[in-house]
Amino acid sequence: QVQLVQSGAEVKKPGASVKVSCKASGYTFTSYDINWVRQATGQGLEWMGWMNPNSGNTGYAQKFQGRVTMTRNTSISTAYMELSSLRSEDTAVYYCARLSSSWTDFDYWGQGTLVTVSS
């Protein structure tokens, strides 16, 4: 069965960086794009960007350009999202999600990783 398992919760100070991992299993990792979505407590979903695990090509939301980097390690079927220059407003649950074969919906999601930014 398809699973996306994310790394554990993180606490970071303002100005630091965080790197969240998303390990895929149950399918061919390089065949489906991975997207990242975040959700602040009590707020809605916010799309951050996508990565093609085969080519490594990426696309980021304008809001995060220059601060976010999405990478992968195909040998261990793992995608990564690194966010730098953290501020308190970045406190949120970060999700990885697989883009379906129809290239429309996100058909599988990770369990989410809480990133708390606090001094």
By CB under 8 A, residue 101 contacts another protein: no
Residue 67 is which amino acid? Answer: R
Within 13 Å, how many C-alpha atoms sit on residue 75's CB side? 0
Site string for another protein, 60-99 (x = CB under 8 A): -xx--------------------------------x-x--
- Residue 69's DSSP bridge partners are 82
When the beta carbons of 2 and 119 are compared against another protein, the nearer one is 2
Dig out the tokens for 58 from the structure: 């990426």
Q: Is 16 in the site for another protein (CB under 8 A)?
A: no
* Binding-site member from 7, 10, 27, 46 for another protein (CB under 8 A): 46
Residue 113 found at the interface with another protein (CB under 8 A): no
| Beta-carbon contacts of residue 44 (< 8 Å; ≥ 6 apart) | none
- Concatenating the DSSP letter of every residue in 34-71 gives EEEEEE-TTS-EEEEEEE-TTT--EEE-GGGTTTEEEE
Decide if residue 112 touches another protein (CB under 8 A). Answer: yes
Give the interface with another protein as residue ranges (CB under 8 A). 35, 37, 44-47, 50, 59, 61-62, 95, 97, 100, 102, 104-107, 109-112
